[in-house]
Amino acid sequence: MKHRRNTLATAFLAAALCVAAGGAHAQSKIKVGLMLPYTGTYAALGTAIENGFRLYVQEQGGKLGGREIEYFKVDDESEPSKAVDNINKLIKRDNVDVVVGTVHSGVVMAMAKVARDTNTLLVIPNAGAEAVTGPMCAPNIFRSSFSNWQPGYAMGKVAGERGAKKVVTITWKYAAGDESVEGFKEGLKAAGGEVVKDLTLPFPNVEFQALLTDIAATKPDAVYAFFAGGGAVKFVKDYAAAGLNRTIPLYGPGFLTDGTLEAQGAAAQGMLTTLHYADGLDVPKDKAFRADYGKAYKMAPDVYAVQGYDAAQMLGIGLDAVKGDVSKRNELVAAMEKARIDSPRGAFTLSKAHNPVQDIYLRKVVGTENKSEGVAVKALADPARGCNM
Amino acid sequence: MDLAVFLVQCLNAVQYGLLLFLVASGLTLIFGILGVINLAHGSFYMIGAYLAYALAPLFAAQSGGGFPAALAIGVVLSIVFGYVLEWVFVSYLYERDHLQQVLMTYGLILVFEELRSIALGDDVHGVAVPGWLAGSVPLGGVMTYPVYRLFMSGVCLLVALALYAVIARTRVGMAIRAGASNREMVQALGVDIRLLYRIVFAAGVALAVFAGMLAAPVTSVYPGMGNQVLIVSFVVVVIGGIGSIRGALLASLLVGFVDTFGNVLVPQIAGVLVYVLMAVILLWRPEGLFRTG
Amino acid sequence: MKFRRFAILVRQTSAWRGWPLAVAVVALALFPHVGGSFYVDLVLTTMILSIFALSLELLVGRTGLVSFGHAAFFGIAAYATALLSPSSQPPSLAWLLPAVVAIAALAALAIGAFCLRARGVYFIMVTLAFAQMTYFVFHDTKLAGGTDGMYLNVKPLLALDGDTLVDLRNPRTFYYATLVLLVLVYALLATIGRSRFGHALAGIRANEQRMRAAGFSTYGYKLAAFTLAGGLAGVAGFLHAVKDGFVSPEILAWHQSGAVLLMLILGGIGTLRGAVLGAFAFVLMKELFQSEALFGAFAKHWQLPLGLAVIACVALMPKGIVALPTQLRRFRAPLLHAG
């Protein structure tokens, strides 16, 4: 009698364990590797991106595709030379299912190479390097932000439409700067203007005084500048201090005035910039997003937070389609490609090269806000030159 | 380029050179008299800039008197800081060889950067130019030149003159000059060398911190700003001659001109030009422009 | 009788001073079979850094020339590897490696010819200046991708008559190739150390004037050492480019030159095994301080404990890890006698 009861009990236990094991397997967490700058000049951007990402996951009850998320973080320090080692920490040491990152274009180029070689899913929440949706494009690489060309092109069209015939460009000599200026040139040409001079200085040099003198001597109709972070703060202030802003309008992509207005103060007032996000947008999702973000993090969101939020959204859509089974890569990718992302910036879709096709807004600096003045270019897609997808 | 633009570029060059002089003079004193290669000198500059940022809200209420008061407080704090640092850390570097000094001060850079990161964060900050200096002087037609930059050049020039006066005309200055030539002899002659070293180090730190505070409204405040200044300062010190203030002044102005005009005329290779200048001068005069002892 | 011979043989074998080295090499060779792929990568990076450190040891330890610009040759070699490789076919190891090493050595010859005119602290400064020059050339110009760096599209291989002998695209093969190169560089430097050339360099470090008085053309010897060190740094640079498939200007930054000097002093200047130990110690320290498992949220401020550790190590262990046993013995000895 006892024997049979024991056997039955054992059998029950075994069955229960099997169910539990099977269930536990389905309940195991999805590993998300965040490779962002947590130190250095872009630290604030990295934090904003992570905040946005986590906010979306929280709104879904802490799960994407029905599974909980486990986060792994690596500080990339915006250093391209350490990028390969850093992303390998996430892929080989932590065995993440997807990598989300980063801000700096040079770092993301190295990440894209490793992602291609190891076939790891990579979602880029900022870096606009055209190479990753150009020659290095791949089915497993997505971007939720922009390509450097997009805001530049939009600004070029606006500048041309506002009567600028001769324009001087100024930027740092690196991929993001070059690509932004190229986009501007194309847009300006389409609207009937031309760039007469390209000024550059090495990244991250901020001694602008000599170049500002050069601009004054050239007497153009307008100036297009691409800088970000500390460089943006300094340039706008120096431009005003040199008195150039009274006679020569300064244009630029939104990075020139995003997150920098408190420091730039009076020097930036009235400046026009173009970006895929702005303050005071008439988008219901944006109003809800701003309220939730403010409650969760006690600060106002910026374009970087929106990009992080949308990266999570994109990933969530894909994971929902495969019910959390990351091994079904092809279906996951297909779902992400077809996704329509309900973003605070306004809904957008992805191009064939996996870059957002989105509205670019014209913004004006009023106080400490970049107020939207309407859409500069609607549904702008990056030309994705060199991508064979 | 026409004459007006040329003159403005010269102004730019002089202003940059004079600011560089402030940092380099401290470095050359420390290097020449204490015999210590101090890689952390750039960190003092960074500390000065962050100090300006941290003190700015305290003086925001006062309209005119705020900025000079902040500068004064900064200088006093830095003298105390330099004094203590020499006592606690730098004095142990004197007997060590150059390699050990290089590496220990390199460790110090890391420590300062992280302490700053913990205390004040990693964001980029702007420091407002004080109201009474915020104007611009018109310079022919389109351009205006910021008054603050003229103010900076003026202050740096005053400091240079004051340094010259102290070194050439006072007893302390005499001991400093002697110490730069022959340290052992000065000790043998009964000068309290330890006190002298402490004063010199504190002065060097104060100069670098002051330069950082002065430059903050113009360069904005960001992590890593010390590193860029450090290397250029070393180039200036080597070109000018280790231990020579006169050399540091001349070399700073030279570097200021090469860098400014290089950036305008040949931006592709501007970064390299300063080092080419150093290589050329060292080939001509292996110990810098003005040798001391 | 036989037992006695056997005992003598055992004693002689155990007295062989090469045991620690042999054990180390065997341990490194076996590691890929036991370690996780991330840690194997870490050891691989450290081996490459060891080669870099060994090359500098020839200059700093043996010849007494403190160069603060050694990263220049590491970087030039890495960039040369990327620039010389064709974009679609794997280049042959047989010509690529010697070519890259030759380029690095030539650069060292040119730069050394200038720098060695300076003495003492000026030498340190001029080497730094030239390294900065090379950094800016790669950083500011479009020669090789500027600040964003450039890719190495296809990794090299070694083929003979159509049969691939060594394919560096295979991570295992690459690991062993690196290990072999490390052993070869170590052996080369050890041989040089025992040679007449090596003794001349040691003499120059001890007292250059005396060597000149004895009739040695010290400038020539120093230049030869500088060139050789540059070429060997080139081996490390080549391996770095192949490992990552990506090069960026930061590998030429003065921080790299500083880091490798740090490795030497950590391990112990003057010995070859000190250079290798120093490289491993440095990488281990960095990993330790960056580990979130140990430091949690504070791990992002890892440069603080690293800086303090650097200061402590240089202050308390100026002769490095290799001298630790001797230091401890000296520390314990008075206690033993007192007890």
Q: β-strands A63-64, A67-75: how paired?
A: antiparallel
Query: Could you give the percent of chain A with pLDDT greater than 90?
Result: 52
Which chains does chain A touch, 3 or more C-beta pairs < 8 A? Answer: B, C
Same domain as C242, residue C97: yes
* Gap between the Cα atoms of C294 and C301, Å rounded: 13
pLDDT at A333: 93
pLDDT at A165: 92
Structural domain span for residue B61: 12-284
- Given a contact cutoff of 8 angstroms between Cβ atoms, the answer to whether A173 and C147 are in contact is yes
CA distance C243 to chain A (A): 9
Q: From chain A, which residues contact B within 8 Å (Cβ)?
A: 39-41, 43-44, 173, 199-202, 206-207, 209-214, 216-217, 219, 229-230, 233-234, 237-238, 241-244, 247-248, 260, 262-265
State the average pLDDT for chain A.
87
Q: C161 - beta bridge partners?
A: none
**Structure tokens given for B86:** 């020499």
Question: Residue C90: which residues within 8 A CB-CB, separation 6 or more?
Answer: C154, C155, C156, C157, C167, C169
pLDDT at C160: 62
| Total domains, chain B | 1
DSSP, collapsed to helix, strand or coil, labels residue B136 as strand
Sheet holding A98-100, edge to edge: A63-64, A67-75, A30-36, A98-100, A121-124, A141-143
**Which one-letter amino acid corresponds to residue A147?**
S
Contacts of C243 in chain A (CB under 8 A): 84
- Given a contact cutoff of 8 angstroms between Cβ atoms, the answer to whether C234 and A65 are in contact is no
- Contact at CB, C311 and B113, closer than 8 angstroms: no
DSSP, collapsed to helix, strand or coil, labels residue B192 as coil
**Structure tokens given for B273:** 């030009």
Is residue B4 in some structural domain?
A: no
Question: Which helix (H) or strand (E) segment is B104 a member of?
Answer: helix B98-120
Neighbours of B33 (CB within 10 A): 27
Q: Which of B126, B223, B261 sits opposite A264 (nearest CB)?
A: B126
CA distance C332 to chain B (A): 25
**Structure tokens given for B206:** 């104060």
DSSP, collapsed to helix, strand or coil, labels residue A30 as strand
Q: What integer is the mean pLDDT of A364-389?
A: 88
- Contact at CB, A174 and C148, closer than 8 angstroms: yes
CA distance A240 to chain B (A): 9
CATH number for the region A149-275 comes to 3.40.50.2300
- Contact at CB, C136 and A202, closer than 8 angstroms: yes
Residue A5 pLDDT class (50, 70, 90 cuts): very low
Provide the chain B residues 206-265 that lie in CB contact (below 8 A) with chain C: 231, 234-235, 238, 242
Measured between CB atoms, does C37 come within 8 Å of chain A?
Answer: yes
Neighbours of C315 (CB within 10 A): 16
- Contact at CB, C129 and B102, closer than 8 angstroms: no
Query: Comparing C-alpha atoms, which of A95, A100, A76 is closest to residue A318?
Result: A100
- Given a contact cutoff of 8 angstroms between Cβ atoms, the answer to whether C193 and C271 are in contact is no
Whole-Å CA distances, B135 to B63, B149, C197: 15, 10, 67
- Given a contact cutoff of 8 angstroms between Cβ atoms, the answer to whether C144 and A174 are in contact is no
- The region that residue A219 occupies, defined by phi over 0 for left and psi between -120 and 50 for alpha, beta otherwise, is left
* Residue among B142, B258, B264 with most chain A CBs within 10 A, to mutate: B142
Query: Comparing C-alpha atoms, which of A264, A282, A263, A249 is closest to residue A371?
Result: A282
CA distance C118 to chain B (A): 6
pLDDT, averaged per 10 consecutive residues of chain C (339 residues), comes to 81 73 86 83 93 95 92 95 83 87 96 87 86 87 76 72 72 89 94 92 90 89 95 95 87 89 90 92 89 75 88 86 79 58
pLDDT at A182: 93
Could you identify the residue written with the tokens 């043998």? B188
* Gap between the Cα atoms of A219 and B190, Å rounded: 65
- Contact at CB, C301 and B269, closer than 8 angstroms: no
Distance of CA C15 to the CA centre of its chain: 28
pLDDT at A275: 94
Query: Comparing C-alpha atoms, which of A209, A198, A148, A147 is closest to residue A171?
Result: A198
Query: Bigger pLDDT: A114 or B141?
Result: A114
DSSP, collapsed to helix, strand or coil, labels residue A322 as coil
Measured between CB atoms, does A230 come within 8 Å of chain C?
Answer: no
Query: Bigger pLDDT: A148 or C170?
Result: A148
- Given a contact cutoff of 8 angstroms between Cβ atoms, the answer to whether A372 and A361 are in contact is yes
- Contact at CB, B37 and C124, closer than 8 angstroms: yes
Query: Comparing C-alpha atoms, which of A379, A367, A142 is closest to residue A261?
Result: A367
Same domain as C10, residue C122: no
| A162 phi and psi angles, rounded to 5 deg | -90, 10
Neighbours of A371 (CB within 10 A): 15
* Gap between the Cα atoms of A34 and C13, Å rounded: 53
- Contact at CB, C248 and A174, closer than 8 angstroms: no
- Cβ contacts from A onto B, under 8 A: 103
* Gap between the Cα atoms of B7 and B29, Å rounded: 32
Residue A340 pLDDT class (50, 70, 90 cuts): very high
* Gap between the Cα atoms of A56 and A62, Å rounded: 8
Is residue B61 in some structural domain?
A: yes
Structural domain span for residue C9: 1-34
Residue C92 has what DSSP assignment?
B
Is residue B132 in some structural domain?
A: yes
- Contact at CB, C133 and B276, closer than 8 angstroms: yes
Residue of A nearest to B136 (CA): A241
- Given a contact cutoff of 8 angstroms between Cβ atoms, the answer to whether A153 and A256 are in contact is no
- Contact at CB, B220 and A263, closer than 8 angstroms: yes
| CATH code matching the domain that covers A27-146+282-354, chosen among 3.40.50.300, 1.10.10.60, 3.40.50.2300, 3.30.1330.10 | 3.40.50.2300
Query: Comparing C-alpha atoms, which of A134, A129, A144 is closest to residue A174?
Result: A129
DSSP, collapsed to helix, strand or coil, labels residue B49 as helix
- Contact at CB, A203 and C147, closer than 8 angstroms: yes
Asked whether this chain's domains A27-146+282-354 and A149-275 adopt the same fold, the reply is yes
Measured between CB atoms, does A128 come within 8 Å of chain C?
Answer: no
Contacts of C244 in chain A (CB under 8 A): 84-85, 110
Could you identify the residue written with the tokens 């990351």? A326
**Structure tokens given for C51:** 């080669």
pLDDT at C339: 42
- Given a contact cutoff of 8 angstroms between Cβ atoms, the answer to whether C296 and C55 are in contact is no
Q: β-strands A98-100, A121-124: how paired?
A: parallel
- Cβ contacts from B onto C, under 8 A: 116
Q: A195 - beta bridge partners?
A: A167
Question: Residue A281: which residues within 8 A CB-CB, separation 6 or more?
Answer: A344, A345, A346, A361, A372
Q: Angle CA(C184)–CA(C187)–CA(C193) in degrees, nearest 5?
A: 140
- Given a contact cutoff of 8 angstroms between Cβ atoms, the answer to whether A40 and A75 are in contact is no
Measured between CB atoms, does C38 come within 8 Å of chain A?
Answer: yes
Same domain as C29, residue C53: no
Contacts of C311 in chain B (CB under 8 A): 104, 107-108, 111
- Contact at CB, B5 and A244, closer than 8 angstroms: no
**Structure tokens given for B235:** 């180039």
Same domain as C131, residue C50: yes
Residue of B nearest to A201 (CA): B267
- Contact at CB, A38 and C300, closer than 8 angstroms: yes
pLDDT at B143: 67
Residue B205 pLDDT class (50, 70, 90 cuts): very high
Residue of C nearest to A173 (CA): C140
Could you identify the residue written with the tokens 């949308």? A310
CA distance C41 to chain A (A): 8
Same domain as C197, residue C50: yes
Neighbours of A235 (CB within 10 A): 27
* Gap between the Cα atoms of B136 and A209, Å rounded: 14
Contacts of B247 in chain C (CB under 8 A): none
pLDDT at B65: 57
Domain ranges of chain A: 27-146+282-354, 149-275
Same domain as C12, residue C157: no
* Residue among A81, A113, A201 with most chain C CBs within 10 A, to mutate: A81
Residue A204 has what DSSP assignment?
T
How does DSSP assign C102-154, residue by residue?
A: HHHHHHHHHHHHHHTTS-HHHHHHHHHHHHHHHHHHHHHSGGGTGGG-EE--S
What dihedral angle (degrees, nearest 10) is formed by the CA atoms of B264, C249, C268, C229? -90
- Given a contact cutoff of 8 angstroms between Cβ atoms, the answer to whether C239 and C41 are in contact is no
Q: What integer is the mean pLDDT of A356-379?
A: 91
Q: What integer is the mean pLDDT of B68-74?
A: 87
Contacts of B126 in chain A (CB under 8 A): 233-234, 237, 262-265
Same domain as C231, residue C116: yes
* Residue among B2, B219, B263 with most chain A CBs within 10 A, to mutate: B263
Q: What is the pLDDT of residues A43-69, one digit of tens each?
A: 888 999 999 999 999 999 999 988 999
**Which one-letter amino acid corresponds to residue C57?**
E
- Contact at CB, A81 and C250, closer than 8 angstroms: yes
Measured between CB atoms, does C215 come within 8 Å of chain B?
Answer: no
- Contact at CB, C117 and B286, closer than 8 angstroms: yes
Query: Comparing C-alpha atoms, which of B125, B167, B131 is closest to residue B151?
Result: B131
- Given a contact cutoff of 8 angstroms between Cβ atoms, the answer to whether A98 and A35 are in contact is no
Q: What integer is the mean pLDDT of A325-334?
A: 91
pLDDT at C308: 92
b/e burial code for range A102-111 (CB count within 10 A of at least 16 → b)? bbbbbbbbbb
Measured between CB atoms, does B268 come within 8 Å of chain C?
Answer: yes
pLDDT at A25: 44
* Gap between the Cα atoms of B46 and B122, Å rounded: 12
Measured between CB atoms, does C298 come within 8 Å of chain B?
Answer: no
Same domain as C239, residue C159: yes
* Gap between the Cα atoms of A23 and C194, Å rounded: 67
Residues written for chain A: 389
- Given a contact cutoff of 8 angstroms between Cβ atoms, the answer to whether C120 and C67 are in contact is no
CA distance B226 to chain A (A): 13
- The region that residue C296 occupies, defined by phi over 0 for left and psi between -120 and 50 for alpha, beta otherwise, is left
- Contact at CB, B98 and C258, closer than 8 angstroms: no
DSSP, collapsed to helix, strand or coil, labels residue B18 as helix
DSSP, collapsed to helix, strand or coil, labels residue B262 as helix
